[in-house]
Structure 1
């Protein structure tokens, strides 16, 4: 749902440390009360299951149930819970970043995606617009830089090939991230990608953290967008 990452590099360009903050869709659903309310809804509707089976004959009974005050209260709790979780995540990121780097002016490189996954099989809908609005509110509009997310989750953030001109085909040295497959389920593990180095040593990375670091690279520069993020 949202991942913020920052890396410190030494003078020779090697990575010294990486800090990241993540708000998952599961955490958003749990902490805002959506999961809990979904369970409560099943219990409430179980009491009127016979009426639901013959809905055409029990229209009045159904509306008598859903018109009860607890349903309106539940909707309002969820509305407040959703806003609270999003606001608290960005507040935590802002507070901890200021504590870690008190002498720096903070800016946020934000992935300019407008897709929330709602309606996609296996994906949960998340508040894309609310996340961006709250980020702008916490960091201030002039310090939020929107970055195109193209290829950011597929290329290692350790690879950096800035270039003024693009080649017809990506260089063979590009280190592409591949989905990791579960040996038990024989299916891809969402969010986990593997990177095979030139020494055939397989290392695992969190896809969202890699994307966040690449988005940061595009915003910070120097120079144009890295070549490996242009194909």
Structure 2
């Protein structure tokens, strides 16, 4: 957030955790359902796990075939139940929907702040680093970036009162980490910084290194 004169006013912090995505997309509930439904064929699954066809032994392969045939009706009688297909359909695209809903909320909150500050909704610019979400299914930085761009850079309806299309700028995360104490205290250069000017004071030199501090990644 910036002042009218272009100086930085402050930061707006927003967080989306892995557990949030898993919960809101239904992954956690689906995992619980799978565990509960598999109880119906628990014995058959144990027999299949024990009769692994690993290796090249003819005896092991024959045993695996025999156990598969013996448990076939029970296992597929359970897995062909419509509830499994319905669950897969609910999960299809669910994580992407959660991410898009998050960026929509972020856009709306930023627009509200802009409206209060300047009386109009200015363009939202998102600086995107390497933000991946480690959920089962591989939501890496590329997938999160695509979800962000889909929301922030979408075209408006053409009405004068509609939102201004935002912009997503990818940034290199090199040197974006901030070395801080556990309390995240300011660095010496920050304490001596003249915030009315865009650069540090002329002739400023860093103080000798003291006690090692903990490095926290803050983006």
Q: Do they superpose with TM above 0.5?
A: yes
Aligned partner of 1:145 in structure 2 is: 169
Aligned partner of 1:178 in structure 2 is: 214
Note the residue ranges of structure 1 that are not aligned, 5 or more in a row: 1-6, 164-170, 180-192, 194-206, 212-231
**Cα–Cα, structure 1 residues 45 and 131, in superposed 2: closer, same or farther, change >3 Å?**
same
Matching residue within 35, 44, 50 for 1:42: 35
Distance in 2, Cα, partners of 1:174 & 1:89: 41
Per-residue deviation at 1:18? 2.8
SS in 1 for 2:12: strand
Aligned partner of 2:74 in structure 1 is: 61
Larger helix percent: 2
Aligned residue-pair number: 165
SS in 1 for 2:11: strand
Larger strand percent: 1
Aligned partner of 1:4 in structure 2 is: none
Structure 2 length-normalised TM: 0.60
Aligned partner of 1:204 in structure 2 is: none
Distance in 2, Cα, partners of 1:8 & 1:60: 66
Per-residue deviation at 1:99? 1.2
Q: Which has the larger radius of gyration?
A: 2
**Cα–Cα, structure 1 residues 150 and 62, in superposed 2: closer, same or farther, change >3 Å?**
farther
SS in 1 for 2:15: strand
Aligned partner of 1:106 in structure 2 is: 124
Q: How does 1:79-228 map onto structure 2 within 5 Å?
A: 79-102=92-115, 103=120, 104-111=122-129, 113=130, 117=134, 125-140=138-153, 143-155=167-179, 178=214, 193=216, 207=217, 210-211=218-219
Distance in 1, Cα, partners of 2:26 & 2:171: 31
Q: Deviations over 1:61-118 (max 9, x none)?
A: 223322222111111111242222111100000111111113422111111x386547
Distance in 1, Cα, partners of 2:209 & 2:124: 31
Aligned partner of 1:30 in structure 2 is: 23
CA RMSD of aligned residues (A): 3.8
